[in-house]
Amino acid sequence: MTYQVKRTSLSAFVYLGLFCLLMAACSPVTAQRGNMLEDAQIPKIIVGESTMTDVLQNFGSPTAQSTFDTNIWYYIGQETEKYGILDHEIVEERIVSVTFNKEGIVESIEEIDNERLEIPYANDKTPTHGNDFTFMQQLLGNVGRFNAPGNDNAANTAGGGI
């Protein structure tokens, strides 16, 4: 009787352990990329008053600066989840643009709409120009193009006789 109870409790323990492992394998891996600004941070910067130093102290370094105007800073943050071998999925994304005037005072702070466009992949192949040979043409195409053995004409060899 005790052997049966021990065996049942041992198998229940094994099944419980396997179940826990299975559930842990299905849980998502969450990652945060970039600088995800929180709602409480943005009101600390006052338009027309705050300077670049104030923005750096409150927001941190910008994720990117505008290519053509270094007085525009972008704070880009993403939170992603990944389940097993599947591709990651963007759960939350926030893009905030901070514009400064020439004196380094904040002109505007705006949140950029981050609606993504789904661009389909083209499965077409790029056409390559040239000859399309069949297998037999490739196999037999070089017959007769080689130098005959014993021909000492150096100009006909690959080295050119140099």
Within the chain, what is the greatest distance between any pair of CA atoms? 98
Mean pLDDT along residues 99-125: 85
| Mean pLDDT, residues 134-139 | 82
The overall average pLDDT reported for the chain is 80
**DSSP E strands, the chain:** 29-34, 64-65, 72-82, 89-100, 106-112
More confident: 40 or 132: 40
The answer to whether residue 159 is domain-embedded is no
**Which residue type, as a one-letter code, is found at position 40?**
A
How many domains is the chain built from?
A: 1
Domain span at 68: 28-112
Q: How far apart are CA 113 and CA 117, in angstroms?
A: 12
pLDDT exceeds 80 at position 131: no
22: burial class by Cβ within 10 Å (0-12, 13-18, 19+)?
A: exposed
Question: Does residue 14 fall inside a structural domain?
Answer: no
User: Is 156 within the bounds of a domain?
Assistant: no
Report yes or no on 160 lying in a domain: no
